[in-house]
Chains A and B, each alone.
Chain A
């Protein structure tokens, strides 16, 4: 390392993609000291991705790069050259970005990476990985990784990647949105573990993110970046205090917070019952349904809202699929709009479903071949006999409501950003005038700004059209923003139910408390009455 203890010094770095009007990074300078944590915070396209590409040594060949980088005690070199840093750099990707080849086990791939990085035989690397996993509190066993990636839960993959990074004893760790969207409790546990490992091994950490969780939980210096330039930097508490650049203030304001104040009820228990569920048991044995004793019973009235809060595997999706008649019920009864779904034929159930809209965080929820206009028009053409003029009118109004009216209508869905696709789903839901909107992790994978807009779009949809909302999420901030009541699910059972504010005020179960704690950011809660 250099005398000053710098891990790297970047000076006047410019990165531009061929043909792009604006550079991704514009005269960007940054210094990272040994053992320091820097969180690079910005929206999608702010330039943090380009920074990671250059530092990680995997910049695209078409990139026009200028500026210099000096690693530790090495000489200052042009950033455009293939860098051979004199320090050990470990890369921590996000498991949801599919960093693994699909045909080889996760364990084999991690062992290979570790063996190459440390110059040890693969068998030794495997043992190193085992030891690293044992050292990390809460990490799975090595055997859990010995499967193909498609069979390994992303959270387990994240533990494996973290163990692999730790076993490299690196000088610098580059974390590229590494733990985003893995579920609140998993994210907070993994971030805490990463912080512990950073303290233990003393490596420098550069964490690129679009959300505030890493900034709040890792500590260190936060560098706010926009349009390839640094807006300002400082510790998270100062930036959140309000004495910051206007852009930073907006960014921090975008962070959703839990409120203990009772919001005015947006229609809970108003209107006729829309969805009635009697005696549904997710744990029932389909071969012996008579053994069910107390299934789940609840009703959702027209215009009301209910959040099913739980992490992956909690049973929230199974419950939704059964309630909507997509999966066969093993026990109980579901009545939708006064019709028992059990006694309907497939055709009739399908007709009933036209009053249901889905808005999900899955980017493949829309047909990528369709155009923007066709995607919005389809529910109208499928269910109603309207003239082209009327359809165009409804489409325009819906696209305007979600902020997509200025987009080229003939553009294919495949070319849209994740944020645009999400808004397009809402536009499609709006024209369908549904009685029930199933909203499944609608903010997943979006940066803080996009999440704020998406929340507003969904709230506007609910306020103006008044469908009942069934929200599926692991995040209590999302649940509170979009619903009034919640069921907390764990291991396919409802462990707690009631109004969200009441649950936040006095959670009865430890699991509920952990879910709330996972989205409560230490040092960043500003509003009175927030958790």
Chain B
């Protein structure tokens, strides 16, 4: 028998394993999408328009007769690639600079923290749409990454700042260990211990942002279609052909759920 204090870490480990296994399978499906899909991306077939799920078309077909299973796989591939790029930008720009800023002297770090806090208070979705408006729809992943960066900055700053106020950091400073060495400690240990969950959490957050942006029509540009755009395109005939939106939404849900589980169901970045 185990106590609740022993059970909690065990449950968390199970969730991590399930999450990362799921992400691994999704990554495999994306790599093999050209083999797994019955048809190439965007291949229309006028003879099989809006067919309900069947053995020939497990996910049915859409208004142009595109196989929804193949389209969902291609859409997943586009969504995941864009989300990975956006998450990388958010972590590299936001997380890294937040950790460095927390070690800056003379309150400079806190001024930066305040400025980034203002940006972090604005919904990331609005910032993303604003950034796309200032650039182009093509740069949606970059825009989402930049919009999520202030949030990653604030989180990294607070985490490292907590470390810099700790007793061990005070003792280290009292024996002449420099700020640069303490920053090296943080980058080595803090990132080693938190990079995987932070990456998974960021992936979940930017996937939601990018899909929402595409759903609203500000994201991916056809002929490339991500899952958000597929759901958005099915709006008009969703009540007659539910499968055209439901299956891409299900795939999207699985991707986000796996990422959140891999992050240990920790509170995600606010979309």
Q: Which residue of A lies closest to B192 (CB)?
A: A369
Q: Which residues of chain B are near A350, meaning CB under 8 Å?
A: 173, 176, 178
Residues 423-443 of A at the B interface (beta carbon under 8 Å): 432, 434
Say if the beta carbon of A28 comes within 8 Å of chain B.
no
Q: Which residues of chain A are near B171, meaning CB under 8 Å?
A: 358, 360, 365-366
A62-B6, A353-B174, A364-B166 known; 9 other A-B pairs, CB under 8 Å?
A61-B3, A353-B175, A355-B176, A365-B168, A367-B166, A367-B168, A369-B193, A378-B177, A432-B175
Could you tell me the dominant secondary structure of chain B's interface residues? helix
Known: A351-B176, A356-B175, A358-B174. A382 touches B181 (CB 8 A): yes
CB pair B185 A370 closer than 8 Å: yes
The 8 A-B residue pairs with the shortest CB-CB distance in the complex, in nearest-first order: A354-B176, A369-B189, A353-B176, A364-B167, A367-B168, A61-B1, A382-B181, A365-B171
Residues 136-189 of B at the A interface (beta carbon under 8 Å): 166-169, 171-178, 181, 185, 189
Q: Which residues of chain B are near A432, meaning CB under 8 Å?
A: 175
Please, what's the 1-or-0 string for B1-36, where 1 marks a CB less than 8 Å from any CB in chain A? 111001000000000000000000000000000000
Say if the beta carbon of A195 comes within 8 Å of chain B.
no
Number of chain A residues close to chain B: CB under 8 A: 30
CB pair B185 A367 closer than 8 Å: yes
Say if the beta carbon of B269 comes within 8 Å of chain A.
no
A-B contact pairs, 14 of them (CB 8 A): A62-B2, A62-B6, A326-B174, A350-B178, A355-B176, A356-B175, A362-B167, A365-B171, A366-B171, A367-B169, A368-B168, A369-B185, A370-B185, A378-B177
Query: What is the minimal beta-carbon distance from B227 to any residue of chain A, in angstroms?
Result: 38
CB pair B176 A356 closer than 8 Å: yes
A379 to B1 alpha-carbon distance, docked (Å): 45
CB pair A383 B176 closer than 8 Å: yes
Query: What is the minimal beta-carbon distance from B6 to any residue of chain A, in angstroms?
Result: 7
Say if the beta carbon of A194 comes within 8 Å of chain B.
no
Say if the beta carbon of A127 comes within 8 Å of chain B.
no
Determine which residue in A62, A326, A354, A382 has the highest number of CB atoms from chain B within 10 A of its CB, and name it. A382
A369 to B190 alpha-carbon distance, docked (Å): 8
Q: Which residues of chain B are near A508, meaning CB under 8 Å?
A: none
Say if the beta carbon of A381 comes within 8 Å of chain B.
yes
A61 to B6 alpha-carbon distance, docked (Å): 10
A369 to B162 alpha-carbon distance, docked (Å): 14
Known: A62-B1, A364-B168. A370 touches B174 (CB 8 A): no
Please, what's the 1-or-0 string for A336-365, where 1 marks a CB less than 8 Å from any CB in chain B? 000000000000001111111110101011
CB pair B3 A62 closer than 8 Å: yes
Q: Which residues of chain A are near B6, meaning CB under 8 Å?
A: 62
CB pair A324 B1 closer than 8 Å: no
A352 to B166 alpha-carbon distance, docked (Å): 22
Which residue of the partner chain, among B2, B3, B175, contacts A358 with CB atoms under 8 Å? B175
Say if the beta carbon of A509 comes within 8 Å of chain B.
no
B contacts, CB < 8 Å to A: 1-3, 6, 166-169, 171-178, 181, 185, 189-190, 193
A379 to B173 alpha-carbon distance, docked (Å): 11
CB pair A379 B185 closer than 8 Å: no
Known: A62-B6, A369-B190, A370-B185. A382 touches B168 (CB 8 A): no
A350 to B181 alpha-carbon distance, docked (Å): 13
A245 to B131 alpha-carbon distance, docked (Å): 79
A137 to B180 alpha-carbon distance, docked (Å): 53
Query: What is the minimal beta-carbon distance from B190 to any residue of chain A, in angstroms?
Result: 7
Say if the beta carbon of A60 comes within 8 Å of chain B.
yes
A358 to B176 alpha-carbon distance, docked (Å): 11
A390 to B175 alpha-carbon distance, docked (Å): 21
A12 to B211 alpha-carbon distance, docked (Å): 66
Q: Which residue of A lies closest to B181 (CB)?
A: A382
Q: Which residue of B lies closest to A325 (CB)?
A: B174
CB pair B193 A365 closer than 8 Å: no
Residues 363-391 of A at the B interface (beta carbon under 8 Å): 364-370, 378-379, 381-383
A432 to B168 alpha-carbon distance, docked (Å): 17
CB pair B189 A381 closer than 8 Å: no
CB pair B177 A379 closer than 8 Å: yes
Q: Which residues of chain B are near A352, meaning CB under 8 Å?
A: 176
Q: Which residues of chain A are near B2, meaning CB under 8 Å?
A: 61-62
Known: A60-B3, A62-B2, A369-B189. A379 touches B175 (CB 8 A): yes
Q: Which residues of chain B are near A367, meaning CB under 8 Å?
A: 166, 168-169, 172, 185, 189
Q: Which residues of chain B are near A382, meaning CB under 8 Å?
A: 176-178, 181
Q: Which residue of A lies closest to B170 (CB)?
A: A326
CB pair A381 B176 closer than 8 Å: no
Q: Which residue of A lies closest to B105 (CB)?
A: A346
Query: What is the minimal beta-carbon distance from B54 to any residue of chain A, in angstroms?
Result: 53
A378 to B171 alpha-carbon distance, docked (Å): 13
A434 to B185 alpha-carbon distance, docked (Å): 22
Q: Which residues of chain A are near B175, meaning CB under 8 Å?
A: 353-354, 356-358, 379, 432, 434
Q: Which residues of chain B are near A60, meaning CB under 8 Å?
A: 3
Query: What is the minimal beta-carbon distance from B177 to any residue of chain A, in angstroms?
Result: 5
Query: What is the minimal beta-carbon distance from B119 to any residue of chain A, in angstroms?
Result: 29
Q: Which residues of chain A are near B185, meaning CB under 8 Å?
A: 367, 369-370, 378
Query: What is the minimal beta-carbon distance from A436 to any residue of chain B, in angstroms?
Result: 10
CB pair A324 B3 closer than 8 Å: no
A324 to B176 alpha-carbon distance, docked (Å): 11
Q: Which residues of chain B are near A368, meaning CB under 8 Å?
A: 168
Query: What is the minimal beta-carbon distance from B10 to any residue of chain A, in angstroms?
Result: 12
CB pair B189 A378 closer than 8 Å: no
Q: Which residue of B lies closest to A351 (CB)?
A: B176
Query: What is the minimal beta-carbon distance from B131 to any residue of chain A, in angstroms?
Result: 36
A366 to B189 alpha-carbon distance, docked (Å): 14
Query: What is the minimal beta-carbon distance from A128 to any residue of chain B, in angstroms?
Result: 33
Determine which residue in B169, B174, B185, B193 has the highest number of CB atoms from chain A within 10 A of its CB, and name it. B174
Q: Which residues of chain B are near A351, meaning CB under 8 Å?
A: 176
Query: What is the minimal beta-carbon distance from A181 to any residue of chain B, in angstroms?
Result: 17
A140 to B137 alpha-carbon distance, docked (Å): 70
Q: Which residue of B lies closest to A362 (CB)?
A: B167
Query: What is the minimal beta-carbon distance from A414 to any residue of chain B, in angstroms?
Result: 11
A379 to B182 alpha-carbon distance, docked (Å): 11
A368 to B193 alpha-carbon distance, docked (Å): 12
Query: What is the minimal beta-carbon distance from B9 to any residue of chain A, in angstroms?
Result: 14
Q: Which residues of chain A are near B1, meaning CB under 8 Å?
A: 61-62
Q: Which residues of chain B are near A378, meaning CB under 8 Å?
A: 172, 177, 181, 185
Determine which residue in B1, B171, B185, B189 has the highest number of CB atoms from chain A within 10 A of its CB, and name it. B171
CB pair B189 A370 closer than 8 Å: yes
Query: What is the minimal beta-carbon distance from A375 to any residue of chain B, in angstroms?
Result: 10
Query: What is the minimal beta-carbon distance from B163 to any residue of chain A, in angstroms?
Result: 8
Q: Which residues of chain A are near B168, meaning CB under 8 Å?
A: 364-368
CB pair B166 A356 closer than 8 Å: no
CB pair A324 B174 closer than 8 Å: yes
Q: Which residues of chain B are near A353, meaning CB under 8 Å?
A: 173-176
A360 to B178 alpha-carbon distance, docked (Å): 20
Q: Which residues of chain B are near A360, meaning CB under 8 Å?
A: 171
